[in-house]
């Protein structure tokens, strides 16, 4: 029996689990980090945001015309990405366009998520007649074609950023409202919510500690996924001349200017279009990665 060695005295010590405490958010972050595509997308998005916001400090002259230097090709002195038909530096305009498009995308997506969450949360939590009336209003808003509202608003009220943001917010919150309402409706009857109520928790405590953390994942994913949609709507409206108008720049009107010169001065079209497309792709891939990372059933 010499093959067996006695267990050391401090069996307690050897049995102790060595797991360190990992908070929920940190854990999700660790899982996101493992997803290379999502990380690359995140890095790219950060780069684009820096390009737009920090870049505007270095390249502020996006309206400065120089009719002696029109259609300069990329690599020209003083215009690394070339110039457009009025001799404006494309790099400066691209920086400005990025700043405008990203700002609109983030602002509108944030407003939509907040309005949608509060609206859907109230409808779901209180239920009954309030829920019924509120969701019928959502149905009505959804049933009106979005583009008609947008185009009507932009033609009636002045064109420009504030109107554009207002118009995009007016219709964009409904999807989030439905999502959050469904979430809250489902969570409200969970036994852990009942348990919190038995323990004497107030409404505020339950909403903050249980409903919000459990409903936040799809909201975050939806936020990431809705930004490209908003940017796309903005680009589309600017492209048809209803959004941000020249001499100001956005991805939409830069592409529109470029497409006018297509195919003679390809860079005028391909520079903004490529940046735009890659950013859309990055937001969608990040959204996918977030959805995977935030799913509690995928832990370990």
Partner 1 sequence: MSNINSNTDVNHSNPLLEVRSLKKYFKVGRRQFLKAVDGITFHIYQGETFGLVGESGCGKSTTGRAIARLYSLTGGEILYDGMDISKFKGKAATRYAFDVQMVFQDPYASLDPRMTVESIVAEGMKIHRMYNSEQTRAKVYELLEKVGLNKEHAARFPHEFSGGQRQRIGIARALAVNPKFLVCDEPVSALDVSIQAQIINLLRDLQREFNLTYLFIAHDLSLVKYLSDRIGVMYLGSLLEVAPAEELYKNPLHPYTRALLSAIPVPDPAEESERTRILLQGDVQSPINTPEQCKFYSRCKYAEARCRERIPPLVETTEGHWIACALNKELNTDAYAI
Provide, rounded to whole angstroms, the least separation between the CB of residue 216 and partner 1. Answer: 9
Provide, rounded to whole angstroms, the least separation between the CB of residue 199 and partner 1. Answer: 4
Neighbours of 280 (CB within 10 A): 18
Provide, rounded to whole angstroms, the least separation between the CB of residue 138 and partner 1. Answer: 24
Provide, rounded to whole angstroms, the least separation between the CB of residue 139 and partner 1. Answer: 22
Provide, rounded to whole angstroms, the least separation between the CB of residue 224 and partner 1. Answer: 20
Task: Report how far residue 11's alpha carbon sits from residue 3's, in angstroms, rounded to the nearest whole number.
Answer: 20
Where helices occur in the chain by DSSP H, the ranges are 11-15, 24-34, 36-53, 55-58, 90-126, 128-143, 146-156, 161-172, 174-188, 191-198, 203-206, 212-239, 251-260, 266-294
Compare residues 20 and 156 and give the one whose CB is closer to partner 1.
Answer: 20
Provide, rounded to whole angstroms, the least separation between the CB of residue 16 and partner 1. Answer: 6
Where helices occur in 9-89 by DSSP H, the ranges are 11-15, 24-34, 36-53, 55-58
Task: Report how far residue 90's alpha carbon sits from residue 74's, in angstroms, rounded to the nearest whole number.
Answer: 9
C-alpha gyration radius of the chain? 26
Task: Report how far residue 164's alpha carbon sits from residue 154's, in angstroms, rounded to the nearest whole number.
Answer: 7
Give the 3-state secondary structure of residue 225. Answer: helix
Beta bridge partners of 89: 83
Q: Measure CA 59 to chain center.
A: 26
Compare residues 61 and 195 and give the one whose CB is closer to partner 1.
Answer: 195
Six-digit token pair at 70?
Answer: 């029109």
Please report, as ranges, the residues that interact with partner 1 according to CB under 8 A.
Answer: 16-17, 19-22, 24, 190-192, 194-201, 205, 209-210, 213-214, 296-297, 299-300
Compare residues 5 and 17 and give the one whose CB is closer to partner 1.
Answer: 17
Provide, rounded to whole angstroms, the least separation between the CB of residue 121 and partner 1. Answer: 17
Compare residues 104 and 221 and give the one whose CB is closer to partner 1.
Answer: 221
Compare residues 22 and 50 and give the one whose CB is closer to partner 1.
Answer: 22
Q: Measure CA 262 to chain center.
A: 31
Compare residues 179 and 244 and give the one whose CB is closer to partner 1.
Answer: 179
Compare residues 3 and 191 and give the one whose CB is closer to partner 1.
Answer: 191
Backbone torsion region of residue 4, taken as left when φ is above 0, otherwise alpha when ψ lies between -120 and 50, otherwise beta: beta
């Amino acid at each position: 029996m010499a093959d067996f060695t006695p267990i050391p005295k401090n069996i307690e010590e050897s049995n102790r689990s060595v797991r360190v405490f990992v908070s929920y958010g940190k854990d999700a972050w660790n899982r996101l980090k493992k997803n290379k595509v999502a990380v690359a997308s995140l890095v790219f998005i950060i780069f684009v945001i820096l390009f737009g916001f920090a870049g505007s400090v270095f390249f502020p002259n996006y309206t400065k015309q120089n009719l002696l230097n029109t259609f300069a090709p990329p690599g020209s002195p003083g215009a690394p990405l070339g110039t457009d038909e009025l001799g404006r530096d494309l790099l400066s305009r691209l920086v400005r366009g990025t700043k405008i498009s990203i700002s609109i995308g983030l602002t509108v997506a944030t407003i939509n998520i907040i309005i949608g969450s509060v609206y859907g949360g109230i409808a779901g939590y209180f239920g009954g007649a309030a829920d019924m009336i509120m969701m019928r209003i959502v149905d009505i808003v959804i049933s009106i074609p979005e583009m008609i509202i947008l185009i009507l608003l932009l033609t009636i009220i002045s064109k420009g950023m504030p109107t554009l943001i207002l118009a995009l917010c007016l219709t964009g919150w409904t999807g989030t409202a439905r999502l959050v309402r469904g979430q809250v409706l489902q969570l409200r009857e969970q036994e852990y919510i009942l348990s919190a109520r038995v323990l004497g928790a107030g409404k505020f405590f339950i909403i903050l500690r249980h409903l919000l953390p459990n409903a936040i994942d799809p909201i975050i994913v939806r936020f990431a996924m809705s930004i490209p949609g908003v940017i796309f709507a903005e680009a589309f409206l600017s492209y048809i001349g209803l959004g941000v108008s020249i001499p100001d720049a956005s991805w939409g009107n830069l592409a529109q200017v470029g497409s006018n010169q297509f195919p003679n001065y390809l860079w005028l079209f391909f520079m903004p279009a490529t940046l735009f497309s890659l950013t859309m792709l990055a937001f969608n891939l990040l959204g996918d990665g977030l959805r995977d990372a935030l799913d509690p059933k995928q832990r370990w």
